[in-house]
Amino acid sequence: MNFITRKHVDRRTLLRGAGAIIGLPLLDAMRPALAAPVARARRVSVVYVPNGIVMKDWKLGPDGTYARIMKPLEPFKADVTVLTNLANHAANKAKGGGHAKATGSFLSGAAPKYTAGADVRAGITFDQVAAKQFASQNRVSSLQLGCEDSRMVGNCDTGSSCAYTNTLSWKDAESPLAVETNPRSVFERLFGAVDPSLPADVRARRAMYRRSILDQTRENTLKLTATLGAEDRRKMDEYLTGLREVETRIADAEKNPLIPPIEKPSGIPFDYTDYVRLMFDLQVIAFQADLTRVSTMMLGREGSVRTYPEIGVPDPHHPLTHHRGHPDFIEKVTKINEYHVKLFAAFVEKMKSVKEDEGSLLDNSVLLYGCALSDGNAHSNFDLPLVLAGHAGGIRGGVVHAAEKTPVANLFVAMMNAIGVETDSFADSTGILDLRS
């Protein structure tokens, strides 16, 4: 228990060291004695999977049971909201490749301009609307993460720019935000202090950060923890332990002697499962320390030809989705879909394990998982395979059956309100999807 005489710690306190800054999780000491409770930070994350889903193994059973692909989420059924009948009408109004149209319009509800040149145009995405509102409260306004090719130029889908297939977030109609694929770069962005005396050379900057930021800030950390109560010391220990684990995994990836068949930047784990989990853990830490409240992550770019030998699928993903009813191809796509959901379920579990106030980090967040295509074989933009995890703003969980072909923007309006971004409309929305009743 904290006494009235306890020392108050400002919510924006940062631990500083030579070339490093660490944000702090929400502590009891950040609540002034006898004062009103500190407002809970609410977070939003979009986790994107490419190339559509095998819908027959995604849909719920008649009794509400989870189908095969969704089975990994069953332990978190009370925290998950299954969504049906949502459509991306903007993609159907656009010209160009089916994949580019889908991703390029998904979070904005704006039909992308058909071009493979530099004159790309779509619309601001809902995550960036939220990021603008929270920008003054966080060190990083938003994260855009990816686990595959991040090129933003060139032709990636029958005359459509790679900017449409390789990212989700648009700052405005003409400014797509490239995804960051290197965990080391994400880590440095979250925790590295800006030192104007350093040269611009990237290698020199990275060399400095090879020293642990926890070691750099050790003295200030010890001074702070000495003033905290037992519960706050537990929270700090949990947070710093997680941070150290992420640091270690990035360093191990940089030293990994295995040589993959393609060149990889330093800091990217060779194993895809490790790679994805590391990127998810970076988001957990960023949310926990309130370094950012907004993130998007692409497990693969739209049109991805990644292979998955670790689950017995050595074939490239995208060609498999054009299966034309071939059962062997459908089975392989189903395995990939199931694997992706399993990785997301681990993210949900981690968010749920981090305690915050009377609940968890998941209780104060909303995580959207899914794809801008339903049937990848047909490039369908209707009845999108989407689920939410979390309870920010009172999201109840369960199943939400929208009216047929309801604009997916109705969901984005509801999600923005759930995290405290009050609005009645966005893009082509026709209302607010009810996630609370």
pLDDT (average), residues 109-126: 97
Q: Are residues 234 and 347 in the same domain?
A: no
Residue 425 lies in a domain: no
Q: How many alpha carbons fall within 13 Å on the CB side of residue 372?
A: 31
Of the three residues 233, 265, 297, the one that is the final residue of a domain is 265
| Res 3 pLDDT > 50 | no
Of 245, 265, 285, the one marking the end of a domain is 265
The residue type at 26: L
The reply to whether 272 and 251 lie within a common domain is no
pLDDT at 246: 75
- Give residue 32's pLDDT: 59
Q: Would the pLDDT of 203 be above 90?
A: no
Query: Cα 158 to the chain's mean position, in Å?
Result: 28
Q: What is the CATH number of the domain that holds 108?
A: 3.40.720
Number of domains in the chain: 2
Residues 95 and 226 in one domain: no
Residue 4 located in a structural domain: no
Which residue segment(s) compose the domain that 318 sits in? 43-181+268-418
Q: What global pTM score does this model have?
A: 0.84
- Same-domain pairing of 407 and 306: yes
User: In this structure, are 402 and 327 located in the same domain?
Assistant: yes
Provide the H-helix boundaries in 293-408.
Answer: 317-321, 327-353
pLDDT in tens, 307-357: 999 999 999 999 999 999 999 999 999 999 999 999 999 999 999 999 987
Contact 122, 108 (CB under 8 A): yes
pLDDT of 147-170, one tens digit each?
997 889 899 999 999 999 999 999
Kindly indicate the confidence band of residue 64, based on its pLDDT and cuts at 50, 70 and 90: confident
Sign of CA dihedral 390, 396, 400, 405: negative
Pair 258, 274 in one domain: no
In this prediction, residue 174 carries a pLDDT of: 96
Instruction: Name which of 129-143, 185-199, 241-255 the model is least confident about.
Output: 185-199
**pLDDT value at position 250?**
76
Residue 23 placed within a domain: no
Residue 14 lies in a domain: no
Q: Are the C-beta atoms of 218 and 234 separated by less than 8 Å?
A: no
Say yes or no: 233 and 97 in one domain: no
pLDDT at 17: 57
Confidence check: pLDDT of 367 > 90: yes
Which of 213, 247, 265 terminates a domain? The answer is 265
The mean of the pLDDT values for the chain is 86
- Asked whether residue 210 falls in the same domain as residue 332, the answer is no
Mean pLDDT score, 237-245 = 76
Partner residues linked to 366 by β-bridges = 44
Amino acid at 271: D
